[in-house]
A and B are shown apart, each in its own frame.
Chain A
Amino acid sequence: MYAQMIQSEKTDEDPRALAEFQARIDRGEKIEPKDWMPEGYRRTLIRQIGQHAHSEIVGQLPEGNWITRAPTLERKAILLAKVQDEAGHGLYLYCAAETLGISRDALTEKLLDGSMKYSSIFNYPTLTWADMGAVGWLVDGAAIMNQVPLQRTSFGPYSRAMIRICKEESFHQRQGYDIMMKMANGTPEQRRMAQNALDRFWYPSLMMFGPSDAESVHSAQNMAWKIKINTNDELRQKFVDQTVPQAEYLGLTIPDPDLKWNAETGHYDFSEPDWTEFFDVLKGDGPCNAERMEARRKAWDEGAWVREGLLAHARKKRAAKTAAE
């Protein structure tokens, strides 16, 4: 997912207050920023929403890579709109995180110093135009799986941000599938590119949901708090069940020889991704980790004069206005 392996933070408040808080969540009430909340709930949410926001921002990079090389002006305009949406989604989420008492600049600094993460998926390169299709179809498809249930999360600002994001996100998946259809029905070479993109993005997409967490105490706490709605395995299964027929429609082959329909369970059986690779990517050893962080650092450092300049201008204007009054 965009937020992976979120450990729940320890909380040691008065048990009665905690029970009352839990009862509010169980009744389906939304928790708002000024309401009392356990410190662990607050810190876990900062970590999860922050990681989600960082993923949206870093997620612009693999697709931004193709804006100048989109095959037509229409495709370019569409891709530009999608990348702009991702910037917007990052901003909605930063604002939601800020209501928990952390500033956006502090969140950015935590991303840049490596103490906060972003989704593993954005550490893979986008090598051909077909990858724009695969990213929209699979990566955004996997993200939607997680984001739709999160609209019901217990924290009001997060829930509202997810509602906005989900409204916009299905455009992303559809535009990706549209690219895949075009490529899959194109020349033999375009078809090969489409298959190759699916081959490279299939397992990293499955990794987005994170390793199995059915037994995890963190997962249980986060689910009780309604910060997490489904287990990683549930979402991954749902994603596979939904995606396999879509690949069949394209006439493409999912790169898993063990993938098959299981009539007994009513689901597809499939192979697990290589979790060693996942942990390596998470640790920073993925194909593009260094490049992505470098791009973020560069944007932050080289944008400093703009941030300072606009603020200085605003202060000067305000001072002049006050003097004139």
Chain B
Amino acid sequence: MSNEWPLWEIFIRGQHGMAHRHVGSLHAPDADMAIKNARDVYTRRNEGVSIWVVEAARITASSPSDKGPMYDPARSKVYRHPTFFDIPDDVEPM
């Protein structure tokens, strides 16, 4: 068994009302230590109010080669954006 501490991905909520955002990763023996280490590594200058840690091995990511089938279909559906529709100026703000 490898003796290297597992890798954790770190997510930080920058301020109240914001979503947690991925900031980087670090090694730690367990989740509690990962949070303690994340505090030292990623919030030395008040960068956060909340930390999530996720073991990197538990993350499932989409594959870059699937980019076409995954995202191309949305491209042609411009009507999903409000700017697709012309609303006459006479109409009140909508």
A88 within 8 A of B: yes
Contact pick for B27, options A104, A161, A164, A318, CB 8 Å? A104
Q: Mark A21-41, 1 if CB is under 8 A from B, else 0.
A: 000000000001011100000
Name the one of A88, A310, A318 contacting B5, with C-beta atoms under 8 angstroms: A310
Chain A residue contacts of B4, Cβ below 8 A: 103-105
Q: Which of B3, B7, B30 contacts A308 (CB 8 A)?
A: B3
The answer to whether residues A88 and B3 also contact, given A95-B24, A314-B30 and a CB cut-off of 8 A, is no
B3: chain A residues at CB < 8 Å are 105, 307-308, 311
- B1-42 CB mask vs A (1 if < 8 Å, else 0) is 001110100000000000000001111011001000000110
Q: In whole Å, how far is A79's beta carbon from the nearest beta carbon of chain B?
A: 14
Scan residues 25-67 of chain B and give those whose CB is less than 8 A from a CB of chain A: 25-27, 29-30, 33, 40-41, 44-45, 61, 63-64
Our count of residue pairs bridging A and B at CB distance below 8 angstroms stands at: 50
Interface presence of A16 (CB below 8 A): no
| CB-defined contacts of A103 to chain B, threshold 8 Å | 4
Known: A85-B44, A95-B26, A317-B30. A311 touches B64 (CB 8 A): no
B8 CB, nearest partner CB in chain A, Å:
10
User: A209 in the interface, Cβ–Cβ < 8 Å?
Assistant: no
Interface string of A65-104 (1 = CB under 8 A from B): 0000000000000000100110010011001001000011
Q: Contact check: which of B24, B27, B29 meets A92 at CB < 8 Å?
A: B24
Describe A's contact surface by its main secondary structure. Answer: helix
Given contacts A34-B64, A88-B41, A91-B41, contact A161 B29 (CB under 8 A): no
- Tell me, rounded to whole Å, the shortest Cβ–Cβ distance linking B38 to chain A: 11
- In the docked arrangement, what's the CA distance between A276 and B63, Å? 49
Q: Is the CB of A311 within 8 A of B5?
A: yes
Within the assembled complex, what's the spacing in Å between the Cα atoms of A98 and B8? 12
Are A34 and B63 interface neighbours, CB within 8 A?
yes
A310 touching B64, Cβ below 8 Å = no
CB of A91 within 8 A of CB of B26, answer yes
- Minimum C-beta distance from B71 to chain A (A): 15
- Measured CB to CB, the nearest residue on chain A to B25 is A95
Number of interface residues of B (CB under 8 A): 18
Q: Which of A32, A95, A104, A313 has the most CB of B within 10 A?
A: A95
The chain B residue with its CB closest to the CB of A95 is B25
Size band of the interface chain A makes with B: 20 to 34
User: Is the pair A84, B29 in contact by a Cβ cutoff of 8 Å?
Assistant: no
Nearest CB of chain A from residue B56's CB, rounded to whole Å: 9
**B-contact bits for A183-201, CB 8 A (1 contact / 0 none):** 0000000000000000000
A168 at the interface (CB under 8 A from B): yes
Residue of B nearest to A317 (CB): B30
Say whether, besides A91-B26, A95-B24, A104-B27, A310 and B33 are in contact (CB < 8 Å): yes
Considering only CB atoms, which chain B residue lies closest to A89 in the complex?
A: B41
A304 nearest CB across to chain B (Å): 9
**Chain B nearest CB: distance from A52 CB in Å?**
15
Are A98 and B63 within 8 A (Cβ)?
A: no
Residue interface mask A152-174, B partner, CB < 8 A = 1: 00000000110010001000000
Contact across chains for A318 and B30 when beta carbons are under 8 A apart: yes
Specify which of B27, B29, B41, B44 is in contact with A313 (CB 8 Å cutoff): B29
Residues of chain A having any CB pair with chain B under 8 Å: 32, 34-36, 81, 84-85, 88, 91-92, 95, 98, 103-105, 160-161, 164, 168, 307-308, 310-311, 313-314, 317-318
Q: Which 9 A-B pairs have the closest CB atoms?
A: A314-B30, A314-B29, A310-B29, A95-B25, A105-B4, A311-B29, A35-B64, A34-B64, A88-B41
